Structures are given as C-alpha cells and as structure tokens.
Chains A and B, each alone.
Chain A
C-alpha cells in the first residue's frame, strides 16, 4: 500500500522487501508534547540489571512500536509504563517515567490510578471467566467510574473494538465461547471501556492467526485517532504496518556476569527505521541477519 509519494521520500524502501507501510503519516521527527516519556529508565530484578538507561518519548495519537530480539527488555519497559512491574517480586526501577510531566514512580502516586489512565492488553487473550457483558462492565465497576447507562457503555466499547456486530446477540454468554481473535478484541474493548488515555499492548497478536492479526491491526489504526498506543511486537512486519515510530532494543551481555541487559539502540520514525536505519545493529536485525 506504499503510495507514490512515500516511495519518493524513502527511496530505499524496496531494498528491504515489500513491507507495507499502511500506517505511514507525515509526522515531526520527534514527538511534540509527548504523552509519556521514560528518563534514564533502569530496571532491576533483584541484582539482575534488566534494562539500561532507556530514554523514549511517546507521541499523542501515535502508535509506537518497540521491537528487538528476545530478552532485550522491551516488555519490561512496557510494563514500567503502567507500573505492572510492581507486581513482580524483587523488581526495582530507577530513573523516571513521565505521564504528562508527572513521574508515575513518585512516592505519592497511586499505581491503581496510573492503571486507570494507562490500560494494557496482554500477549495471550485473558478474558475473565464471566459473560461478555460483565467482562466489559468490570473495569468501570471496580474503578467506580460514573456511568449513566452501562448498556450504552458496553455497546460503545464493543463497537470501538469492532466486535459489536459479532457478539451483540450473545452478550450474556461466556467470553470463553469466543475465538482467540475475538477474545483479544474483547480484551481491547474491556480496556477502552475504562476510557484510558494510553493503551499498552504486549505482543497482542502473537497468539493469533494471520486473519485475526489483520483485524487487530486494523483496529489499532482506528484506535490511534482517540488513544495513544504503545505496542511491543516480535513481528517486524507488524511494526512496519501499524506503527508511526519504532524503537529498536537489543541485549548486551555483561562482561563479567554474562547477564544480558537490554538497551535502546535506535528510535525514529518507522519509515526511517525500516528504510534508512542509522545503526548497523538495527539494519542487521530488520534485514533478518540476526535475532
């Protein structure tokens, strides 16, 4: 789907295979007024240094992809963004994660409040063992959101996740009766029902077949108009298809212990990363020479 103008702008596109760039837009080189930022972010699990000095800015209504080989710390960084790493015993964060300028790791910040603003969709679809309706209504209920009409909110969330037409006649049935792709879109609907600002997605399509993956990717592009999306993916084509900016991570073994610490190699517009990367390691990775 690469248009004529974009191939003019990025003449090297063809050299990396026919990667479709449907998400391509005109964007400034770096995010203006970023919604979230990490500042010298370091993450430790006990003594293990998992992530080293990550500085990233996530733009409003943009999709930011974080890619890299296994163990490069991309999921760890993602889980810091809504303090889900707090749940890992021994996890410890240094540096800052700013959300609209507020450091969410400051002492007086309530992680529960953070998570109502910054929602998360997981790798494996994880619907609750409840009805489709109750899956959606759960978030607003537990956070004490003021809801005039729950039925309307459920419909709105399901429409937002492009699932309404498929499930409108079986809202009271168990969510476990849905297919894997439908379950994942239900989880996205469940997240947007709490009206978050940012949606984090941790390899949202890795458990789905190609058709279900395409539907989730289409959905991400639609959601971009209202939400800021940060996605971790193993699938480089996916990053190229949906994301506006891409951050490439890699793992560096420690010289003495051999522990692999993740670090950010390069962060740029997706079109640049995939056509004209600055760093040799990025180029090697996206052209399939390693990882």
Chain B
C-alpha cells in the first residue's frame, strides 16, 4: 500500500520547464513595481542633476567664504546664510533636545496613561507633528512679542520657531528609543533598591542615547531646510556680517536661496543653484551622521 503510493508520487512531473512565478500576471505586476520605483528615483536624480549643472560654474571658494554681493553677482557668496543656518541649528538643538527628551521620559516612564490628561497630551503630540511649519513661525512671532523682544530676524526667534517645529519629532523618536529598552532592565534596577529616577537616569537613558541622537539629528536636518517659519519671523535674505549671539540678526541658507532664485540676473540664478547643492550636502551630511550613529551604537537586546 505505502510502496504503491510512493511509486505513484514519483510519476508527478516536476520538470515542466516553466515557472508559475514567471506567469504573465506576475510579470506585469513586477513591471509596475519597477516602474513606480524608477519614476520616483528618476525625478529626484533629474532634479539634483539639473540643479548641479545649473550651478556648476559656481562651485568655488567664494561660494562659502564671501557675503552676498549685488555689485559682483558672479562672486556672490553664502557665508552669512551658511553660518546663520549653523547658528540656528545650534540654538534649536539647545532648546528642543532637553525639552523633547524630558517630555518623552515623562510620558514613557512616569505618566499614567490611564489618566485623561496624559491621553490628551498623547493625541495632541501626534497632531503637532503634522502641523504646517508656517504655523510654528506664527507661534514664534507670538512668543517673541510675549517676551517683549521687538528685533526682527534674529537667531533667538528663528531657533524658537524651529525648536517648536522639531519638538514633536524628537519626543516621538525619543519615546520609541526609551520604549525599546527592555522592561527586564528596569525591573532589575528597581529590584536592587534603585528609585525610578535612578533607573531612568542610569539605565534607560544611556541605553536610549543612540536612538535619541538619531531622532534629534533627523529632526535638525528637517529644520535646516525650512524657509517658511523663518520668513514669518522676518529673517532678511541679505546680511553682511557673521552672527555673534542669540540676538544677532541673521539670514539662513534656504532664505538666501529663495531670495536669489527670484532674481532676474543669470549669475544669481547660478549661485542659487550652487547654494541648493550646498544645502543638500549639509542635509545629507546630517542624515549620514544619524545613520552612522545608529549603526555604530545601536544595541540589539
């Protein structure tokens, strides 16, 4: 009986010479997937290549070392914008990182999620991440008016707007990093007689640092490309000195690009294209740093 069954099984034809994985339907679907991918990547490549070609004549030292100049358009530079953007990033990080981490730690480690007010915070946090950036610009204008600072276009105002903008991103990524620390670590620490605060400070946060750093850098790389909230705060597109402090008037790279790209002179158009590539390099650099930190320090439990 069993021998007969085995013999019958052997006669089943396996070497049919065709694969059902390669049926017309599957191939059409695969082709569609490839096309979608190709389209998305292609648009990006064309855009970057076009910009790079348009700005090719201006990849020189003047581009990053000189201030903008209306007298010699072919030698105009973005020194003020690059420095302004870097200053903005510094103060944005100084404001947003401690606040964001503290808020995330409260929500993950201390808040009782069954309380209605904590649930409201949760819901609002998700919504805040989707608020248009220009609204944060408006909010920062209001904050500046509240604290009585009338100077327009300074580091402080821009940094407040950008900090508010990336705060939800930092809170959400920090929460994820904190949540990834296994419960056993917390329990082990508490069982030794550590307080919740000690456990958070000495066990949870050090383990979550790579995730927090990654989220922070990704948030900053979003902030560095923003122009809209900074325009609301009255940042000038032309500044001819380096920033010196929190109250120093500045410009930012995206604002300068915006200003020059509407110019009628070809030399300014070219400079704007080159500046776009500089901005992209800064953003890619930040993202690269985030990936490096994640790969190098992230712990697998």
Chain A residues at the B interface, C-beta cutoff of 8 Å:
82, 84, 87, 89, 112-113, 115-116, 119-120, 122, 124, 126-129, 138-139, 142-143, 187, 190-191, 194
Tell me if B188 and A143 are in contact (CB < 8 A). no
Given contacts A128-B203, A129-B299, contact A138 B189 (CB under 8 A): yes
Tell me if A113 and B189 are in contact (CB < 8 A). no
**Cα distance A116–B198 when bound, in Å?**
14
Tell me if B187 and A143 are in contact (CB < 8 A). no
What is the CB-to-nearest-CB distance from A197 to chain B, in angstroms, rounded to a whole number? 12
17 A-B pairs (CB sep. < 8 Å): A84-B190, A87-B190, A112-B194, A112-B195, A115-B190, A115-B191, A116-B192, A122-B191, A128-B189, A129-B185, A139-B192, A142-B195, A142-B202, A143-B192, A190-B192, A191-B191, A194-B193
Tell me if A119 and B188 are in contact (CB < 8 A). no
Tell me if B207 and A129 are in contact (CB < 8 A). yes
Given contacts A112-B195, A128-B185, A129-B185, contact A138 B190 (CB under 8 A): no
Q: Does B296 contact A (CB under 8 A)?
A: no
Question: Which residue among B112, B193, B195, B206 has the maximum number of chain A CB atoms within 10 Å of its CB?
Answer: B193
Tell me if A115 and B188 are in contact (CB < 8 A). no
Mark B116-140 against chain A: 1 for CB-CB distance below 8 A, else 0.
0000000000000000000000000
Tell me if A143 and B184 are in contact (CB < 8 A). no
Tell me if A113 and B193 are in contact (CB < 8 A). yes
| Contact residues in B for A89 (Cβ distance below 8 Å) | 112, 114
**Cα distance A115–B184 when bound, in Å?**
16
Given contacts A129-B207, A142-B198, A142-B202, contact A87 B187 (CB under 8 A): yes
**Cα distance A131–B184 when bound, in Å?**
17
What is the CB-to-nearest-CB distance from B206 to chain A, in angstroms, rounded to a whole number? 8
**Cα distance A190–B193 when bound, in Å?**
12
| Contact residues in A for B184 (Cβ distance below 8 Å) | 122, 124, 126
Chain B residues at the A interface, C-beta cutoff of 8 Å:
112, 114, 182, 184-185, 187-195, 198, 202-203, 206-207, 299
**Cα distance A124–B183 when bound, in Å?**
11
Interface residue from A113, A116, A126 paired with B188 (Cβ < 8 Å): A126
What is the CB-to-nearest-CB distance from B248 to chain A, in angstroms, rounded to a whole number? 43
**Cα distance A124–B187 when bound, in Å?**
11
CB-nearest residue of chain A to B300: A176
What is the CB-to-nearest-CB distance from B81 to chain A, in angstroms, rounded to a whole number? 42
Extra inter-chain contacts (9) besides given A82-B191, A115-B190, A129-B207, CB under 8 Å: A113-B193, A115-B193, A116-B193, A122-B188, A128-B185, A138-B189, A142-B193, A142-B194, A143-B194
**Cα distance A224–B168 when bound, in Å?**
52
What is the CB-to-nearest-CB distance from B285 to chain A, in angstroms, rounded to a whole number? 29
| Contact residues in A for B112 (Cβ distance below 8 Å) | 89
| Contact residues in A for B187 (Cβ distance below 8 Å) | 84, 87, 122, 126
CB-nearest residue of chain B to A144: B193
What is the CB-to-nearest-CB distance from A132 to chain B, in angstroms, rounded to a whole number? 14
| Contact residues in B for A191 (Cβ distance below 8 Å) | 191-192
CB-nearest residue of chain B to A125: B184
| Contact residues in A for B203 (Cβ distance below 8 Å) | 128
| Contact residues in B for A84 (Cβ distance below 8 Å) | 187, 190-191
**Cα distance A112–B189 when bound, in Å?**
11
**Cα distance A139–B152 when bound, in Å?**
53
**Cα distance A113–B114 when bound, in Å?**
27
**Cα distance A113–B203 when bound, in Å?**
20
CB-nearest residue of chain A to B184: A126
**Cα distance A187–B198 when bound, in Å?**
19
**Cα distance A139–B112 when bound, in Å?**
27
Tell me if B193 and A139 are in contact (CB < 8 A). yes
> Considering the complex of A and B, which 5 residue pairs feature the smallest CB-CB distances, nearest first?
A116-B193, A126-B184, A139-B192, A120-B191, A142-B194
| Contact residues in A for B198 (Cβ distance below 8 Å) | 142
Tell me if A143 and B299 are in contact (CB < 8 A). no
**Cα distance A122–B192 when bound, in Å?**
12
CB-nearest residue of chain B to A193: B192
| Contact residues in B for A124 (Cβ distance below 8 Å) | 184
**Cα distance A119–B192 when bound, in Å?**
6
| Contact residues in A for B299 (Cβ distance below 8 Å) | 129
CB-nearest residue of chain B to A200: B191
